[in-house]
Amino acid sequence: MVGTILACSPTVVTFGIGIVVLLAAFVLSLVAVFRKNTAKWPSIVGIILSVVGAVIGGIVLSVVLFVSLVNATSSFPTDFPTSITSEQPSDDPGVDASESRPSPEEIGEGYVANLEGETDLDEFQTPEAAACIGQRLYDSALSDEVLQRIASGELITEESLAPEDADLLRDVLIDAGFACVTP
């Protein structure tokens, strides 16, 4: 039982000590099974407990290592720089970009408005994904006019854009999909 308790500890060192104790219990129980003039049931119970303890300890260690791995990978930065520049000139040089370019929140809301009713795109409709996609679109080289159309909730097709804008929008949305949406 001591081996099982040690093997269920969430550290690798105590797990190792527990496995050694369980292995010793297994060997001693196995030897006791073959001794003459002794009761067999304590030896059989010892073998069963050592095997069950090792299995339970292995499961506990696997879960602890998996959770540690998940926590370690979730601390990596998810906002990687892209090839799209964040400083954008306004369409009209005499107008401040903040006056003609919609905010990232407006862009995200307009983008999500076009996705309503699309059941296979639910992960794109979360507030976090909308904010992230809105920021990616805002930071892109897309013109203020295209971003105004997105923010207004207008359905934009490739045919309704200039070829270079359609290509850029597609690239930005693909990049945003990978960066902002977690399945």
- Alpha carbon dihedral 51, 52, 55, 57, in 10-degree steps, equals -110
pLDDT at residue 28 in the model: 92
* Confidence grade of residue 83 (pLDDT, cut at 50, 70, 90): very low
pLDDT level of residue 95 (50, 70, 90 thresholds): very low
pLDDT beyond 90 at 110: no
> pLDDT value at position 117?
64
Structure tokens at 87: 């400083």
Identify which has the larger pLDDT, 117 or 80. Answer: 117
Mean pLDDT of 6-29: 86
From CA 162, how far away is CA 168, in angstroms rounded? 10
Task: Give mean pLDDT, residues 114-142.
Answer: 76
